């Protein structure tokens, strides 16, 4: 079994290389992911989310990570993403703190923490500045993110 730090580093190296297969190979089949934009996702939805985000970035994505730690069945890392948000064509620089739980040597829980208001100001412009702090707007962002994921999954299913 690989050291947990190595699994986290492999995940982010795959992300930096835009390789969703490498990323998702670090996940346990029962993965649960959570962040402020997508809310809580499980299993296939998590894997499809990363595929979709990489596809939408069209190679315009810079991922950096640091402070990778683990103790027992828990781990953490800091990472950042620079990209152009596809819906608005606006530049985003997001700093994220990630927490992990492991099961059978793979990432079983992955929670990304970041400031949704700071993200929404960058990604959505004036709408994010005016409304990005509100619980209503957070729900709207999550709803749109999930709709985008479902549309991607439908398109992917049709191409099989």
- Domains assigned to the chain: 4-158 (3.10.450.50)
Residue pLDDT, tens place only, 3-36: 999 999 999 999 999 999 999 999 999 999 999 9
For 42-57, the DSSP string reads ETHHHHHHHHHHHHHH
Q: How far is CA 151 from CA 13, 36, 65, 126, 138, in A?
A: 27, 20, 30, 26, 20
Phi, psi of 38 (to 5 degrees): -95, -15
Q: How far is CA 99 from the centre of its chain?
A: 12
Q: Is 153 exposed, middle or buried (0-12, 13-18, 19+ CB in 10 A)?
A: middle
1, HSE (Cβ side, Cα atoms, 13 Å): 10
Sheet holding 39-42, edge to edge: 39-42, 27-35, 106-113, 90-103, 74-85, 61-71
pLDDT per residue of the chain (160 residues) written in tens, 0 to 9: 789 999 999 999 999 999 999 999 999 999 999 999 999 999 999 999 999 999 999 889 999 999 999 999 999 999 999 999 888 999 999 999 999 999 999 999 999 999 999 999 999 888 878 877 778 888 999 999 999 999 999 999 888 7
Q: How many CB atoms lie within 10 A of CB 7?
A: 21
């Amino acid at each position: 079994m690989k050291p947990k730090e190595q699994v986290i580093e492999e995940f982010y190296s795959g992300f930096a290389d835009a390789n969703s297969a490498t990323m998702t190979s670090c996940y346990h089949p029962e993965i649960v992911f959570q962040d402020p934009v997508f809310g809580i996702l499980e299993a296939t939805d998590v894997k499809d989310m990363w595929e979709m985000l990489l596809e939408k970035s069209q190679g315009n994505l810079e991922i950096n990570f640091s402070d990778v730690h683990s103790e027992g069945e828990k781990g953490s890392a800091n990472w950042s993403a620079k990209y152009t948000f596809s819906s608005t064509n606006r530049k985003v620089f997001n700093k994220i703190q990630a927490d992990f739980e492991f099961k059978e040597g793979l990432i079983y829980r992955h929670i990304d923490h970041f400031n949704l208001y700071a993200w929404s100001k960058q990604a959505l412009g004036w709408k994010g500045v005016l409304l990005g702090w509100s619980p209503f707007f957070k729900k709207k962002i999550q709803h749109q993110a999930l709709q985008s994921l479902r549309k991607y999954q439908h398109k992917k299913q049709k191409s099989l």
